[in-house]
Amino acid sequence: MAQLQVTVVEGRNLKKKDFFSESDPFVQIYLDDKRQTQKTKVKSNTKNPYWNEIFVFNHLKGQNILHIDAYDKDLLFNDKIGSLKINLQDLYENKHIDNWYNLPSRFRVSSNGEIHLILDYQPLQL
């Protein structure tokens, strides 16, 4: 089975969701099966969190989309800061991508911040 390693490095200029304080951001990542969601730790009171957390997924053929959801942790309901979907086709060829990804606003007219990710792909060894 192939492996996908995702390093959630940091965020910058994440949109403020709390009225009286900065956000408490965390990131959820998953492939096509949302039941296998992994998430970073919550970073308190910041728009520029630094996580540097590594997640490993067993990667099956046909799982070509990596889902990234950034949230602001709240007591009752977490507020979504933004989401993005990364097509992994380029990663299959390059095996390594280190990039900042924009979190578009709801109507895609502005940005809700950026997430720095490092993606590494290890194909199935026969």
Give the structural domain span for 101.
Answer: 2-122
Look up tokens 């403020």; give the residue: 16
Distance of CA 58 to the CA centre of its chain: 17
Distance of CA 107 to the CA centre of its chain: 19
- Angstrom distances, CA of residue 42 to CA of 23, 39, 88, 96, 101: 10, 9, 26, 26, 19
For residue 19, pLDDT over 70 is answered with no
State how far the Cα of 28 lies from the Cα of 12, in Å rounded to an integer: 16
Q: How many domains does the chain have?
A: 1
For residue 81, the domain's CATH number is 2.60.40.150
- Count of CB atoms situated within 10 Å of the CB of 73: 17
Task: Read off the pLDDT of residues 104-116 as tens digits, 9 standing for 90 and up.
Answer: 887 767 789 999 9
Region of poorest pLDDT, from 18-32, 33-47, 48-62: 18-32
Task: Read off the pLDDT of residues 51-80 as tens digits, 9 standing for 90 and up.
Answer: 999 999 988 778 899 999 999 998 888 999
